[in-house]
Structure 1
Amino acid sequence: MAIPPRPWPTGVTEQLEPLVARVLAPNASPFTYTGTQSYLVGTTDLAVIDPGPDDPAHIAALMGAIAGRPVAAIMCTHTHRDHSPAAAPLASATGAPVVGCAPLRFTGGATGIEAPFDQDYAPDRVLADGEAMTGTGWTLRALATPGHISNHLCFALEETGAVFTGDHVMGWSTSVIAPPDGDMGDYIASLQKLYARAQDRIYYPAHGPAVQNPHQLVRGTIGHRRAREAQVRRLLGEEPRPLEALIPVMYAGVDQRLWPAAQMSVLAHLIDMERRGLVARSGDTWCPA
């Protein structure tokens, strides 16, 4: 999906439905689309989902959207730096607790594609799978969805059938799975978990447009990943290859600026396939097991 032309509605409060509003952060990139979308849930008291980067203009925009209303919780789907760092200053400004995913201390730092992990994230409450945060007229239930990152959660708004999917499912691109913390097997299992939820009406991702046909998109994403795995097996069946030699063949029609991200996801496929006994490696070269 092409990035829409500017201007983008950065810093503007957009009311998407009676219980959901959105504020776009000014951090557009080839990996964040037009930027990180923070969501406000509720009318009288609020939850702020994925407060975004620690950017003063974005935090000011969020405070404008909050408009003096009490904030029951600041909720983070995961701890990449485009999602959680604004939680601390926003909590300081509003007095709200930080609730949601567990902290993740990853000494590897940046993968070269993903933003560095937020090492300062310190939640007041970690939600386990199935636990909920509630406010006036709203219930947000945590859905553990590891894969993109091991601490990833989605939040289901039970009153309306909306799900806030963070980076697990996006309307503009598939998620990057970057080892060693990203795990392709977990990612596909988490997709299957969402696909089994017949009650979900719409997805609100952290990047890109709302997903109006969530079950169709998830089914297609699972199929896409299975097709990529089959492609890897076919190419390695032709001849053993290093990871780097797979990317120009598999992603020949893709913008080369995205090849490093694609390489991370192909590596995640290879690690998952190795674990399942489908491929093996000798040094830097991969071959059928």
Structure 2
Amino acid sequence: MADIPPKPWPTGTSEQIEPLVRRVLAPNPSPYTYTGTQTYLVGDGAEIAVIDPGPDDSDHIAALVDAIGKAKVVAIMCTHTHRDHSPAAIPLKARTDAPIIGCAPLVLDSDGPRADAPFDASYVPDQVLADGDTVSGAGWTLTAVHTPGHTSNHLCFALNEGGALFTGDHVMGWSTSVVIPPDGDMTDYMASLDRLYRREDTVYYPAHGPAIEKPQQLVRGMIGHRRQRERQILKLLAHEPHAIPELVARMYKGLDERLVGAAGKSVEAHLIDLERRGEVARDGEAWRSS
């Protein structure tokens, strides 16, 4: 996990990052969102799409409206429905009359460790995209890529012109994604990483952190990191059973206390995956090798 860079950050500023893509940073920094949620505007002419409108924050919505200007918003698109990604969709729709198009609605009670993560109950899409569905405007086309794992409804969006992939929280530019059961699923997450590794996208634009200029290299490293965590768990359980807090203490030396809960959920997600594969079993609160 990278350190958050010192201020000033370009919060509220429309930044041109390639000819068809601009970025506006929301004012919601945290240990889980880096400097904040990055909303992307796709299109350089009369028609644009807005990807991950972000939190329902009046300053951020005003910055988006200012960046949109006189362009027609063809679609407000959400990668998933955590509260740092989709709540601004409804007020932005009210300001632009644009349809909300993207991931399926998903609302679950959450005992997760992060205050910004519980699901957005206000999200009501006008159209849900299946894998391979497209949304088009003047000079651009976005294709939905189903990438469950971080959440079961997670989508990435591929920009057909230029090779960019908007990766939401599935692949981020500063940290690995948090996978929180029961909806977050490590088996699905690893399969989705493998799917992205086999694609030929040239750059990733994540919702948090810098652009990823060598995406296959990063994804390969992320897969290796998760496999290393698996090996750590199996090595520890080979000696004696452990409860999740004990595994976290052994596996994450010097971890920021604010991130201990998230680490525990990640370990739980790995254990569930390993249990499905017959490599570990539960013994009350403890886990052991099978």
TM (norm. structure 1) is: 0.98
| Alpha-carbon separation, structure 2, partners of 1:13 and 1:202 | 19
Task: Give the drift of 1:98.
Answer: 0.2
What is the aligned partner in structure 1 of residue 119 from structure 2? 117
Task: Give the drift of 1:112.
Answer: 2.5
What is the aligned partner in structure 2 of residue 225 from structure 1? 226
Task: Give the drift of 1:110.
Answer: 4.7
What is the aligned partner in structure 1 of residue 254 from structure 2? 253
Task: Describe the SS at the equivalent of 1:208.
Answer: coil
Q: Which digits, 9 at most, give the CA deviation of each residue in 1:117-171, with x for residues without a partner?
A: 0011000000000111011110100000000000000000011100000000001
| Alpha-carbon separation, structure 2, partners of 1:254 and 1:218 | 23
What is the aligned partner in structure 2 of residue 47 from structure 1? 49
What is the aligned partner in structure 2 of residue 59 from structure 1? 61
Cα contact 1:110–1:117 (8 A) shared by 2: no
What is the aligned partner in structure 1 of residue 138 from structure 2? 136
Task: Describe the SS at the equivalent of 2:268.
Answer: helix
What is the aligned partner in structure 2 of residue 157 from structure 1? 159
- Stretches of structure 1 lacking an aligned partner (at least 5 in a row): none
Task: Describe the SS at the equivalent of 1:218.
Answer: helix
- The letter of the residue matching 1:190 is S
What is the aligned partner in structure 2 of residue 8 from structure 1? 9
Task: Give the drift of 1:248.
Answer: 1.1
Cα contact 1:12–1:61 (8 A) shared by 2: yes
| Alpha-carbon separation, structure 2, partners of 1:105 and 1:248 | 31
| Alpha-carbon separation, structure 2, partners of 1:253 and 1:190 | 30
Task: Give the drift of 1:254.
Answer: 2.7
| Alpha-carbon separation, structure 2, partners of 1:110 and 1:179 | 10
Cα contact 1:53–1:82 (8 A) shared by 2: yes
Cα contact 1:169–1:175 (8 A) shared by 2: yes
| Alpha-carbon separation, structure 2, partners of 1:30 and 1:110 | 18
Deviates more, 1:165-174 or 1:111-120: 111-120
1:1-289 equivalence runs, <5 A? 1-44=2-45, 45-106=47-108, 108-113=109-114, 115-198=117-200, 200-289=201-290
- Stretches of structure 2 lacking an aligned partner (at least 5 in a row): none
- The letter of the residue matching 1:59 is I
RMSD: 0.8
| Alpha-carbon separation, structure 1, partners of 2:280 and 2:248 | 17
TM (norm. structure 2) is: 0.98
| Divergent runs of 4+, >6 A | none
Task: Give the drift of 1:51.
Answer: 0.1
Task: Give the drift of 1:39.
Answer: 0.2
| Alpha-carbon separation, structure 1, partners of 2:235 and 2:113 | 28
Task: Give the drift of 1:267.
Answer: 0.4
Task: Give the drift of 1:260.
Answer: 1.1
